[in-house]
Chain A
């Protein structure tokens, strides 16, 4: 998409010195492997809150870069609404919401209460063995081959299988889900996104009808049996929640895991550090979540508000850039440096956002990432970027690796 065609007029409330004429996502994508180091430098060159005239096919938006400001914004959903955050219902000409994400407090809590008990640390503990088993199968299939297409062989199937198992949905539909995830979230073509959103909603609606006729032990049946304000959920509410779980639970882990493994493939000494001391893995997960944050979201300003130099008007859009907050030098010394010994407890990152919309799957995601690292480092010899391949990074919407091929030396003992 030619972003130059989206030259939007600069609103009168934006002073000229806060306007920065570049497309953050396009610039990050162009930076490739240097994207995060480049993003860290924005903290030296940009005002605390600046304004860009366009972002991909999206209109002009404020971009706060400091962790402090982003926390304040995310902790104030009354002023910074997440209603209408995603384009999917609109693209389909429908009016459902991705609840609870696109619902503001106080109603938000009613939806969130349905999800919270399913994703607690305790619930995730109970999934540990299932996750381990699924990862083991995938890794055992490739460990002896000496080479893999990391996305196709691991990063996509791993979270998808866990997701389907957790949802109680048919594991046989895995290829369908993997396809939809990629085309829905990674495509910059509105028609492709619309077509796939229609297929996904079709699948979910059929699932709802099936479970209504024949309730089972799955997530959809659980929602059908749930109530809000003493009444069952409407079909639109059912659809919105199922759709949100779908987009939240699949691509995010795939993308994150790709960035983690590119880092380890490029930094053999840090890979060796974790192999020598696996007790560092949980800290490494936190540090890489901080260093390689992938989620950009938006909020809409509901009333005029001043943050520092930025005079935001009702209706303005604010970008929530988790990677900028997590590369903030006011919080993290040498933020561009990935250091597994950096004490995660001293300065928590915001890869899972702040405030009421904190990623409900954060505990599950952490566990999946930890187990993936543990098992790979145990079962696969030191790996590197495969000869003749170039990792490809994309920062459109949810950042991640489009291409990542790894190779390693297989011992010829058998």
Chain B
């Protein structure tokens, strides 16, 4: 599993860091300091929670198995 972050669109809410400080590190301005990273097994649930916490929705999860379980991330687009 991989996290890809559109870090240019980060607005500095820092909610990802609040949820998972060890995964989502901030720079000296309080914005995300990375454009992405590989997630180790065991950290996946935490990485997902951090991604979901982003109000801007700029943190994306890739390399997931097909049909990931509903997690509310795309709730705004539900039918």
Contact = CB atoms under 8 A, between A and B. Distances in A.
A376 B75 CA distance: 36
A121 B75 contact: no
B26 interface: yes
B76 A121 contact: no
B3 interface: no
Contact of A117 (B29, B71, B77): B29
Given A116-B12, A330-B76, A356-B11, A348 B54 contact: yes
A122 B30 contact: yes
Contacts of B72: 346-347
Interface in B22-79: 26, 28-31, 49, 52-57, 71-72, 75-78
Interface centre among B17, B55, B56 (most CB of A within 10 A): B55
Interface residues of B, number: 27
Contact of B29 (A68, A116, A347, A356): A116
Interface centre among A113, A119, A120, A363 (most CB of B within 10 A): A120
B19 interface: yes
B76 A68 contact: yes
Nearest to A123: B30
Contact of A345 (B17, B28, B49): B49
Nearest to A349: B55
Contact of A116 (B15, B17, B30, B55): B30
B75 A116 contact: no
Interface residues of A, number: 28
B78 A330 contact: yes
Contacts of A344: 53
A116 to B, nearest CB: 4
A201 interface: no
Contacts, number: 69
Interface SS majority for chain B: loop
A119 B28 CA distance: 10
A350 B28 contact: no
Contacts of A116: 12, 29-31
Contacts of B26: 120-122
A119 B19 CA distance: 19
A120 B57 contact: no
A362 interface: yes
A67 interface: yes
27 contacts: A67-B76, A68-B76, A68-B77, A71-B57, A75-B9, A75-B56, A113-B29, A117-B30, A119-B30, A120-B26, A120-B28, A120-B30, A121-B14, A121-B18, A121-B26, A330-B76, A331-B75, A331-B76, A345-B19, A346-B52, A347-B52, A347-B72, A348-B52, A354-B11, A355-B11, A358-B11, A360-B12
